[in-house]
Structure 1
Amino acid sequence: MPVLVEAGWGGVVQMPWSITWTDITARVDMVQGVTITRGAQDELSEPQPGGCTMTLDNQDGALTPGNPNSPYAPWVRRNAPIRVSALHYPPRTGAGPWPLAQLCDDFDSGVVDPALWSSVVGGSAEVGGRLRQPMVSGVTARHTSVRSWTLTGSQTTVKLCTAPAAGGSSSASVSWYVLSQTSGTRLRWHYNPVAGTLRAASEVGGSDGAAVSLTYSPIDHAWLRFRETAGTTYWETSPDGWDWTVRRSITTPAWVGTDLVQLEFATFRSGGAPDAAEWDYLGAVARPRFYGTVNEWPVSWSGLQSSVSISATDLFKRLNRLPPLRTCLVEEIVSSYPLAYYPLTEPAGSTAVGDLSGTTAGPLTVAQVGSGGTLDLGTAAGPAAATDALPLLTPVSTSAGKMLASDLGQGFQDASSRGWLQLEFWFQTSTPGRVIFGMSGAGGMSQQVWSLDGAGALQAESGWDGFLAPSTVTTGNLADGAWHHVAYDEILQQVWVDGVLRASTPVTIATELRQLTVGGYKATRLWSGAIGHLALYAVPYAAPIGAALATHYEAGTTAYSGETADLRITRLARYAGVDSVTILGTTHDPVVGQGEAGSSVVARMREVEATESGRLYAERDYLGLAYQSRDLRYNPDASSEVFEIAYADTETASIELADDDQKLVNSIVATRPGGATQKVVAQESILAFGLYEQDMTLLKTTDSSVVDAAYWRISRYGNPAPELREVPIEAFTMSTYLDILDADISSYFTVYDLPDQALAAEMRVTVEGYSETIAENSHRIQFRTSASSTDSVWVLGDPVYGQLGITTRLAY
């Protein structure tokens, strides 16, 4: 089949390295095919969540959710990971000998092809769409090709679908060879089920003392490859047939350049229970098309025939269902994985303060010390960019008032004993000599207190059995009525105040800490002022994070205003639990802070994308995001094209040259947060077509950059040129099939030999998205495109992009 569909039963989609994928391709209804949608409708609309639909055979009930007899139970459920790849088998062309890459077999016919395989022994056979080699004690199974192939400058690829178990054998072997014309001289991938190893060998006389041995992983080593190029031979593995890792390389043996070679699959075992090795997709070149999760498993019947018509969605489904973001400061702290985190942002009238770490840390409750005093939650205005109100503590005296107390729990106590402690907190006061917070162990034996001394300087106090030794940090008077942020790293003994390293303070935080009091310690030195965002971290592997915690000062004061768009996208992705973001392009302007709460993470990302005229979308080969800057599309030329296609080779029924006012804009009113409202117009366009006005709110840091962005839009769409907006292609039959599959969002290709009525003989287009259907011997792709010339910018002296009055659009 020209497609590979795999389900990650029981796997976690955001942990692809942990998923063992199951091939369910044989269940796909290839008459209907697999349909995938990706990208945007045009360059002015947002890329939409990618989707995939297909119908799967369920005659055995294996895909019925909740069926305890399913071999996949209990993992046939919503949000099961799924991925789809297109497979291309290079055709054998011309007269032999042929490149080894053209030795291809999908093993689907059930009959061994004698034109490919010269010797089949030991029960080796095509079974269920795979090459199946039984492993029976004392029997060697072999599947050997004809000797008609050359490895020089070529490669060969296969998937080891089923790796047999040791099964009580004293020795067992699963091998894949490239055989020279000399017996025992060969390249070998060798899996040893008894030792659990995978070896890459270049054998002479049947042995190789320098073979590289790997601990076998059915995930990482699912695909195997031999490859020779420019005098070097490689052994490579891949989890998906696309992303390869070199496991060994050597100078190409001399015989590779002279001998016709054979491929051979061989298995053997001595003793133990019978088993089998299975191989598939020999010679297939994989191209990922979709990676996401299944939305539902609806079982339907036609008479007694059962099927499941599933739909799946890419990463954006997961992102779109996330709750609204909290303030930038809260998101920063939560995404740093604290062991206990008390934002102290509960509204007025609350009687307790909760922990947001998701651990077992208990809530902070109000504790009365002496009589009188107040502790008003939701009253004090917090740091500038952290808009949530914080508690205001107003004691009557140092020993009469209210504070907060909590039992951090056994989990925190254990973790604080095993690792190093880091912490951070915010405070505001005009009264020195008071305690911000304190911690102690069971019975008060170990203690740690953070306070201001009588001069308002920060100090850390630590001790045991009631004794506290102060260590003062050179900070000057912090009791100045302003908000201050403190981060401490026990590993490096460093204290950061307001984002600045103030001292390496010899403070050792006591172990087995459990009791926490905020706003006082041991019923004295009660805090007068406000406290917020207290976070405690335990780092078991001696990884200092104090410098990273220190950057949270900027989160609370500016929400990182001024950081570039690529960094902002990466930061927002981290809030969503997405660690992989591919940044493409180099032009990334500064953006203002997005500190307030309320918007979704996707909405925040789209704000940045729109501000920068960028492109944000989900990857199609793993769970990750890609963000493209606008300069990635500047001035495309022939060298940057993915492919070319003649008009006659497309499905011409749907091609049309569009020239309308769909994208026309000639007047823009633009503004930015806290900035001026400005207007940019294209008078010639208004005179010719009438007024087409648009409002834009951009996250720019200067008014001039807002004008630049507005001009960029006006200059491109004040008089849009006629364009091809859709280009359908039956790609499967094209010699450039793999090149066509490589086309993705923002890729270029050229349609040439257009009909005489076209405005030019050829037109270069930019891919904005596509819909595709992969069926038996068919792969139809409907590309949604825009005119590449829209993104051209002026280049002084360039014969194409330097023409005055024609290509004088300035880069932005």
Structure 2
Amino acid sequence: MALNPNWPLIETAWGPYWDANGGEIPPDRYVEVKTIGQFATGRGRQYQLDQVQAGTCSMVLPNQDGSLDPDNTAGPYAGRIKPFQPIRRRAQWPPTINLLTQAQATGGDVGGQPLGVIDGSDTGPRILTDTDGTGGSFVASGTAWQGATVAQFAVSSTAVAAQWICYTAQPGVLPGQAYTVQLRVRNVTPGTTVQVAAGFRTRTATDAAATTAVGSTASLVGSATAAWTQITLTATAAATSAALFTGVQIVTAPGATAQVQVDGWQLEKGSSASAWVQPGVWSPVMSQFVEKWPATWLDGGTRGVVQPTGVDSFALLSQFTLPDPLTAEIQSHSPRFLFRLDDPAGSTTVADATGTYTPAPVAHGKYGAGTVTFGTSVTATDTVNGVFAGSAGPVMHVQNASPATNLLAAASFIALDAVGIKGPALAGSWTRVLAFRYTGPATRTQSTIMWSCFDAQRPVIGNTLEWLIAPDGTFQIVSAGPVAGSGQHSKAVPEVEADDGNWHIGMVAYDAAADGLIVRLDGYAHTFSNVVGSGNWPTLLVSDALGNYVDRTNGGGTVFNWAGDLSFCAEFPVAFTLTDCDNLYSAWKQACAGESTDARYRRILRYSGYGGATRLQAGQTTDMGPAAFAGQDALTALQGCVDTEGGAHFVDAAGTVTFQARTARYNQLVPTVVFGERSDLGEYPYEDCQPDFDSTHLGGIAQVTQDGTGQVFTATDSASVKSYFPRTLTRTVNAVDPLECQDAANYIKSRYAQPSTRVAALKLHPSAYPALWPVCLSLEQGVRVRVMRRPLGAPAIQIECFVEKLDWTQDDKGEAVLILQCSRADTLVYGRFAAWHTTLSAGAAIGATSITVKNSQDNTNPLSSQLAAGQQLILGFGGSVPEPVTVLSVGATAPGWTTAVINLTAPTIHTHTTGGVVCEPMPAGVTDPAAFDAVSAFDAVTFAY
């Protein structure tokens, strides 16, 4: 395979094997496609305050044979050409004939792989195995074929022929191409022999076999000092190939488990094995999804091309409209059914929001009808704390006769069994959820039942499952099982008064595999084990009534009647964990209020069904208000998290959704790359730079609106208003703390009160200057760069900025250009004051009223300006007897002081030795005040006060 040493090895690959995959860019099973003409891709936003746009790409693919025509039923991809299949473009630099990654080719020596079990995730090295249940390992070896690390895999005596000892499916396959694979292998388990061969397989887009080839058998005799054996294979990918697998296969299994090591792996295009080379670094250029497949026939219909366009996962997220947080949380667990019970006034049925079941009817017991009212407002005895915020909208109210008594009385209810719901799906694990508010009489002698299920026979007690409020006011689940004499068994949540006229949410989760049960009400949960084993779990249920006790076995008898409101009746085909319960309760009770920006960002992705890779930094806003994203598309809701954080988000070149906290830019104090004319100073050249000094985002008045309250926080720069006329910049944030909202306004004002030079376009031309290739391939949004301009006869101009947008164009004529658009970095240096700390210059005995300390971080300013009377300190912090003390006064110090006296308000009660730590109180979890400096400072300066 001929290589241009000044151009990277480029692979453009499409995944007809895959669908949208929840926004995931799969790491393997691709078919390589050849582009003609120009390829272009762009990602990013214009400037720092702008909303990020979905990434796009465009390319031209030859289609003379119609193989890429979705209507070609005889083509190799028939039925597998669809919108939103993954497409990627990546580049290897420096270029080599070896198509593998560095980790695959070197047995983990290169590529940043740790020793130990091989990471089998999508982001791992993608070395997979059929024979080793652990996934194989990277191990150190003094006799590695090359380097000092090898890949090692177990092969048991039960392994069968054609199983992979190791393989990868990462390189895209080019149909009709001849490939050669070579590997070095050995068996390091004495007393065993395993027969292996190099393997080559391709699969079609429908996962059928396309090409199968096996190399010559090598018999590996086990020895701790075994020599390396080279195995090779040449094979041609069939025309229908859509995925390529290469590696080491079993021919005959050993008599006992053997450990096979692999090193020196190479896959190349061609019909013979070349000398092994370590491949260059594969860098992603674009990872997106094909949105359109427009076709064109040129030259009188003799030359066909398709011009697919792609979008990244942000485009997919922009298509999904979020419901309210509670509905979203429920839907994220794929419910069996969900009756929201928010049906309009006058309804006679309730609709299943999943669409699985037909609407369930309002039914009546044999003693007459009660009243079921729809469209009821959400209210409670405590109208502030007794309601839920997770979903606006009406609820269902039930008012049945003689509630909470053992009188046989008229009642109405929702007949779930009428639409085929007859108790939980007892064949497996499940969870049921119901929100309720009891409005019946305060004095009760009998339980009031809100949900009931019965079996068909019900002899004596029979099989039943009931949700109720017991006479003592507790929420209980009561079951009667199939074991004779087992009787009724109740599981209660005693911590909550369930009959207080306020809203509550109950959850019951049954784990069939563990035979365990979780019963939860609001924030309290109890777990039970051996549920079925003790004979107290019902089976053979045939009726299911929501809103009352209904016994179908006697014609619909109703008793223990319910009076109150009901909402969100749901069942799930899995047993919730306590974390699942926490999430659902938070969504119901407070619409997820109180979480950090990264937690909210992660929640929105989960609600949207996103299943791709993420890289989410910890947000600095740790207390967001309620999630009011109902009706928003997911991308807009994600942008709301970013606006609140004051950070950034984007889909990187590998397709990973990335969320950056505001600290990501605060903490980048030096550029990653410097662009300029001085290569002798380590600068990289550019062909064109277009600085822009304009009024974009210029404003002397910053107004930040607090989401939820609508309160506006304003910061004004009078000099900016005077110079540029009143210009207002607005932002909406969802931070609970009003001081944080004011801080956001102050920051925007300070950042944008005066104009700053931006870089509208910086043209990099790696095809003309190949040393730029590794720089261009490594750049990403949010990276800090420096742009140098040196006008003739004038001082050098230095622009510090962050990359906001990257636009690539590459063509088949050997041209490649990358255009960067950049925002100006903050012109101010930010810092955060850390804890004051020092050590004792002399020991302090019990009863000491003063201590002598060594100089602290700041010994220029007097200590009395850093510590105030009444301030608390900790003596012996981190020791066995840390003691809080209070400052009475501080002795005089001069610039350069080395010791100081601190007088205390009370005598010490412990002895403290020389060198003991003296510091301000530390945050929870911090054990070293010096380390606290490191995590508190935005730069290298330690601040003190």
Could you state the TM-score of these two structures normalised by the residue count of structure 2?
0.64
Structure showing greater relative contact order (alpha-carbon pairs closer than 8 Å, 6 or more residues apart): 1
The match for 1:516 among 531, 541, 544 is: 544
1:767 is aligned to 803
2:649 is aligned to 616
Q: 1:38 to 1:278 in 2, by over 3 A?
A: farther
Q: How many residues align?
A: 678
Give the Cα separation in 2 of the matches to 1:199 and 1:559.
63
Give the Cα separation in 2 of the matches to 1:412 and 1:71.
47
The match for 1:692 among 727, 735, 754 is: 727
**For the aligned residues, what is the CA RMSD?**
4.5
- Indicate the structure (1 or 2) with the bigger Cα radius of gyration: 2
Q: What is the Cα deviation at residue 74 of structure 1?
A: 1.2
Q: What is the Cα deviation at residue 506 of structure 1?
A: 7.9
1:242 is aligned to none
Q: Secondary structure at the match of 1:725?
A: strand
Please give the per-residue CA displacement for 1:396-450, whole angstroms capped at 9, x wherever unaligned: 335213100113877987x823323322211101325311112235556632111
Give the Cα separation in 1 of the matches to 2:475 and 2:422.
25
Please give the per-residue CA displacement for 1:134-167, whole angstroms capped at 9, x wherever unaligned: xxxxxxxxxxxxxxxx955999999766699xxx
Q: 1:476 to 1:262 in 2, by over 3 A?
A: closer
Give the Cα separation in 1 of the matches to 2:429 and 2:740.
45
Q: How does 1:127-206 map to 2 (within 5 A)?
A: 152=147, 175-177=182-184, 190-191=198-199
The match for 2:377 among 369, 376, 380 is: 380
Name the aligned partner's letter for residue 598 of structure 1: G
2:106 is aligned to none
Give the Cα separation in 1 of the matches to 2:570 and 2:522.
16
1:390 is aligned to 395
2:518 is aligned to 494
Name the aligned partner's letter for residue 364 of structure 1: A
Question: Is residue 2:21 matched to residue 1:24?
Answer: no
- Retained in 1: the 8 A contact 2:84–2:291? yes
Give the Cα separation in 2 of the matches to 1:221 and 1:206.
33
Give the Cα separation in 2 of the matches to 1:198 and 1:400.
83
1:664 is aligned to 698
Structure 1 gaps, min length 5: 91-102, 108-149, 165-172, 180-187, 226-246, 253-260, 268-274, 799-806
- Retained in 1: the 8 A contact 2:26–2:86? no
Give the Cα separation in 1 of the matches to 2:791 and 2:646.
33
Give the Cα separation in 2 of the matches to 1:392 and 1:104.
72
The match for 1:85 among 85, 90, 100 is: 90
Moved more, 605-614 or 392-401: 392-401
The match for 1:351 among 348, 351, 357 is: 348
- Retained in 2: the 8 A contact 1:380–1:392? no
Q: 1:730 to 1:762 in 2, by over 3 A?
A: same
- Retained in 1: the 8 A contact 2:438–2:499? yes
Q: Secondary structure at the match of 1:784?
A: strand
Name the aligned partner's letter for residue 72 of structure 1: Y
Give the Cα separation in 1 of the matches to 2:148 and 2:676.
27
- Retained in 2: the 8 A contact 1:329–1:595? no
Q: What is the Cα deviation at residue 557 of structure 1?
A: 2.1
1:567 is aligned to 599
Give the Cα separation in 2 of the matches to 1:758 and 1:589.
47
Q: What is the Cα deviation at residue 321 of structure 1?
A: 1.4
The match for 2:750 among 715, 724, 732 is: 715
Q: 1:209 to 1:442 in 2, by over 3 A?
A: farther
Q: 1:503 to 1:220 in 2, by over 3 A?
A: same
Give the Cα separation in 1 of the matches to 2:729 and 2:709.
20
Name the aligned partner's letter for residue 352 of structure 1: T
- Retained in 2: the 8 A contact 1:635–1:791? no
- Retained in 1: the 8 A contact 2:465–2:479? yes
Name the aligned partner's letter for residue 199 of structure 2: Y
Give the Cα separation in 2 of the matches to 1:695 and 1:618.
25
- Retained in 1: the 8 A contact 2:40–2:808? yes
2:433 is aligned to 424
2:454 is aligned to 440
- Retained in 2: the 8 A contact 1:403–1:526? no
Give the Cα separation in 2 of the matches to 1:19 and 1:412.
43
Question: Is residue 2:620 matched to residue 1:587?
Answer: yes
Name the aligned partner's letter for residue 786 of structure 1: S
Give the Cα separation in 2 of the matches to 1:792 and 1:104.
47
Q: Secondary structure at the match of 2:307?
A: strand
Q: 1:480 to 1:263 in 2, by over 3 A?
A: closer
1:748 is aligned to 784
Give the Cα separation in 1 of the matches to 2:217 and 2:740.
57
Q: What is the Cα deviation at residue 355 of structure 1?
A: 2.5
Q: Secondary structure at the match of 1:731?
A: coil
Q: How does 1:584-663 map to 2 (within 5 A)?
A: 584=617, 587-595=620-628, 597-622=630-655, 624-638=656-670, 641-642=672-673, 644-646=675-677, 650-653=685-688, 655-663=689-697
Q: What is the Cα deviation at residue 645 of structure 1?
A: 4.9
Q: How does 1:149-548 map to 2 (within 5 A)?
A: 152=147, 175-177=182-184, 190-191=198-199, 208=226, 283-303=279-299, 304-322=302-320, 324-357=321-354, 360-369=356-365, 370-381=367-378, 383-385=387-389, 386-398=391-403, 399-407=409-417, 416-431=425-440, 433-441=447-455, 446-464=463-481, 468-475=488-495, 477-491=497-511, 492-501=516-525, 504=528, 508-513=536-541, 515-522=543-550, 523-539=558-574, 545-548=577-580
2:162 is aligned to none
Give the Cα separation in 1 of the matches to 2:221 and 2:805.
48
Give the Cα separation in 2 of the matches to 1:473 and 1:747.
52
Name the aligned partner's letter for residue 821 of structure 2: R
Please give the per-residue CA displacement for 1:238-257, whole angstroms capped at 9, x wherever unaligned: xxxxxxxxx9989x9xxxxx
2:155 is aligned to none
Give the Cα separation in 2 of the matches to 1:419 and 1:198.
49
Q: 1:535 to 1:198 in 2, by over 3 A?
A: farther
Q: What is the Cα deviation at residue 658 of structure 1?
A: 1.8
Q: What is the Cα deviation at residue 5 of structure 1?
A: 1.3
Q: 1:83 to 1:510 in 2, by over 3 A?
A: farther
Moved more, 604-613 or 201-210: 201-210
Give the Cα separation in 1 of the matches to 2:826 and 2:643.
20
- Retained in 2: the 8 A contact 1:729–1:782? yes
Q: What is the Cα deviation at residue 773 of structure 1?
A: 0.9
Give the Cα separation in 1 of the matches to 2:285 and 2:217.
31
Moved more, 530-539 or 9-18: 9-18
Structure 2 gaps, min length 5: 1-7, 101-144, 152-167, 187-195, 202-211, 232-240, 249-258, 380-386, 404-408, 551-557, 834-856, 859-939
Give the Cα separation in 1 of the matches to 2:538 and 2:621.
45
Q: 1:17 to 1:599 in 2, by over 3 A?
A: closer
- Retained in 2: the 8 A contact 1:373–1:402? yes
Q: 1:585 to 1:735 in 2, by over 3 A?
A: farther
Give the Cα separation in 1 of the matches to 2:343 and 2:631.
16
Name the aligned partner's letter for residue 309 of structure 2: S
Q: Secondary structure at the match of 1:83?
A: strand
- Retained in 1: the 8 A contact 2:697–2:729? no
Moved more, 469-478 or 337-346: 469-478
Give the Cα separation in 2 of the matches to 1:708 and 1:474.
44
Q: 1:206 to 1:56 in 2, by over 3 A?
A: farther
1:738 is aligned to 774
Please give the per-residue CA displacement for 1:282-323, whole angstroms capped at 9, x wherever unaligned: 83532112222212211112122111111111112211111x
Give the Cα separation in 1 of the matches to 2:730 and 2:622.
20
- Retained in 2: the 8 A contact 1:178–1:264? no
The match for 2:608 among 576, 585, 598 is: 576
- Retained in 2: the 8 A contact 1:162–1:276? no
Q: 1:722 to 1:471 in 2, by over 3 A?
A: closer
